[in-house]
Amino acid sequence: MAREKRISVDNYAVAAVPRLGWSGWARWFWRQVTSMRVALILLLMLALAAIPGSVLPQWPQDAAATRAFIEGNEFWGPVLDVSGFLDVFGSPWFTAIYLLLFASLIGCIIPRTGAHYRALRAPVSPAPRSLARYAERRTLSVPDAQAAMDAAAAMLRPEPRWWGAVTGYRVRVDHRQGGDGPELALTADKGHVREIGNLLFHVSLVGILMAVAMGSVLMHRGQAIIVEGRSFTNAVVAYDSFEAGALFDPASLSPFTLTFDSLDSRFDTDGRPRSFQANVTLTEPGLAPWSTDIQVNRPLQVDGGKIYLQGNGYAPDFTVRDSDGNIAFAGPVPFLPQDSFYTSDGVVKIPDVTSGPQLGIKATLLPTAIMDIDGPRSVHPDPANPVIFFSVYTGDLGLDRGIPQNVYILDESEMNPVHDAAGDVAIVAIALGDTVDLPDGLGTVTWETLPRFVALDLRADPSLPWLLVFSILSLLGLGLSLFGSRRRLWLVAPAASGTTVVTGAAYAPLYDETLGTRLHQVLDAVATKEQA
């Protein structure tokens, strides 16, 4: 029992005010959380809280960009990081809003479902004593009042199908004593589909929240770059970058193998892209290899996810020999496109030099190179006249420090560029198939071939089918709640034999413009039945 506290006001009255206690405060808090007002506020807060996740760089999506943002904003960067704005969807405050909204919806749905079920089970209310106050009213003379009521009831009762029980009228016919004697009164009630739609919308919204939560802990996504002629095996260690939910099991990955055979690319004469198609060979466990393709916006469906074509470019194949003539590096190196003409930058890191310092090469590829007053540039993405300009660096590449490096960036902190006789950074040009000497007798570089590469993105989210289902159900529920109308229709007639007058009236919200038409349809059907 709650304790009481007595309060005296100017000695005129003494009031006993009960103390709420922990249980009272818990009930008060639960009522606030489950109110519709708080649910709408939480929904708005969730939408506002998600905005920083799409504006600011996020650790789970792009750690490098997030780190650069923090370094570039000495004050706001660390503040936003500590407060969770750089990992919005994993922050405690976003999770708190999410869970409160979830609890609010559950708290709204359960009691309303029970109340609606009891309302459906409750008998239809009897017709009012007088229909004079209803604006939508009409009278009709019939030869038999009982037959008229039977005809109206047969028309209004639901069809013998499941949707009829949901969308039809509930009908009640009473024999009662009126002001002028016995009379028949018919009541038809319709409109519970509106509340069903409302409940369906809220249940679907809970389903969407649960699906999103499930997807965040079970999803996985990985990016990989594959050079033409090479293969990729679906394993965590094979991806260039990989992210997954907290409950994802790496052992659940299907061990398929994907071989990149060729890339079909089409460009207009001005260099605008027309189409890209990556021709691949897919080998799945227990199945024979088969050839297929991946196109932009047409992913390849594999066991556990879809593979999207995210990008492509050139991967020049080099052979680098050191000053002793030994092969220090051999293989293709992906160059990242910088413009629409596929002017691409790349880095070759050469740590295995038998004598002398380690080597690094910063290079720029021009697929269709020309020379004009602005210097060398590319005028088309196709390799009509491929040329690479590069500079050489010597020193320590920093690969032995145990700190991960970006393969597309050369760490110049302990590297020095090689200069020419004029004291400028030496720039060397090489054409496809040529071999050139490195400055200062550091060795040679041979440009063997110019294969293509593709950037693939595998995404697997088991929640997507559930999100689709609950989204469709939420739209269906919203449509029912918006367009379902609560209608009540009454027919009253004296119970005397012979010709009598049936008075009909109807009531519905103001936006229901078809109410009068429905009343006329019922009375017209009664008149037709009587004439037959």
Distances (CA, A) of 30 to 2, 17, 239, 251, 303: 18, 22, 47, 42, 44
Which helix or strand (DSSP H or E) is residue 18 part of? strand 13-18
Distances (CA, A) of 55 to 50, 69, 245: 9, 12, 22
Query: What is the rounded distance in angstroms from the CA atom of residue 403 to the CA atom of residue 406?
Result: 10
Nearest of 432, 357, 354, 427 to residue 392 by alpha carbon: 427
Residues constituting the chain: 532
Nearest of 336, 434, 332 to residue 386 by alpha carbon: 434
Residue 423: CB partners within 8 Å, gap ≥ 6? none
Question: Quick one: 405 exposed, middle or buried, by C-beta within 10 A (0-12, 13-18, 19+)?
Answer: middle
Residue type, 260: F
Query: What is the rounded distance in angstroms from the CA atom of residue 350 to the CA atom of residue 127?
Result: 93
Specify whether the CB–CB gap between 93 and 84 falls below 8 A.
Answer: yes
Model pTM?
0.75
Distances (CA, A) of 482 to 40, 194, 201, 476, 513: 17, 7, 11, 10, 14
pLDDT at 343: 96
Question: Quick one: 210 exposed, middle or buried, by C-beta within 10 A (0-12, 13-18, 19+)?
Answer: middle
Q: Could you tell me the two tokens for 348? A: 């070759």
Helix 21-33 × helix 92-121 angle, to 10°? 80
Following DSSP, what letter does each residue of 376-408 receive, concatenated? EEE--SS-SB-EEEEEEEEE---TTSS----TT
CB contact burial 447-480 (16+ within 10 A = b; e otherwise) = beebbbbbbbbbbbbebeebbeebeebbeebbeb
Residue type, 472: I
Query: What is the rounded distance in angstroms from the CA atom of residue 303 to the CA atom of residue 510?
Result: 54
Which residues pair with residue 138 across a beta bridge?
504
The single-letter DSSP state of residue 401 is S
The dihedrals phi and psi of 188, each to the nearest 5 degrees, come to -120, 125
Max Cα-Cα span within the chain: 124
Count other C-beta atoms under 10 Å from residue 495's C-beta: 17
Backbone torsion region of residue 121, taken as left when φ is above 0, otherwise alpha when ψ lies between -120 and 50, otherwise beta: alpha
Count other C-beta atoms under 10 Å from residue 69's C-beta: 18
Count other C-beta atoms under 10 Å from residue 338's C-beta: 14
Residue 64: CB partners within 8 Å, gap ≥ 6? 406
pLDDT at 1: 43
Specify whether the CB–CB gap between 468 and 228 falls below 8 A.
Answer: no
Residue type, 55: V
Residue type, 90: G
User: Could you give the count of Cα atoms lying within 13 Å of 288 in the half-sphere of its Cβ?
Assistant: 2
Which residues pair with residue 15 across a beta bridge?
7
Specify whether the CB–CB gap between 330 and 318 falls below 8 A.
Answer: yes
Q: How confident is the chain (532 residues) per 10-residue block, as mean pLDDT?
A: 50 59 83 83 91 89 83 92 91 91 89 88 90 90 89 79 63 88 92 88 92 90 95 93 88 93 94 95 94 95 90 96 92 95 96 88 96 91 96 91 81 92 92 95 95 95 94 94 86 87 88 79 80 58
Query: What is the rounded distance in angstroms from the CA atom of residue 173 to the CA atom of residue 147?
Result: 12
Could you identify the residue written with the tokens 């029912």? Answer: 480
Nearest of 254, 250, 340 to residue 305 by alpha carbon: 254
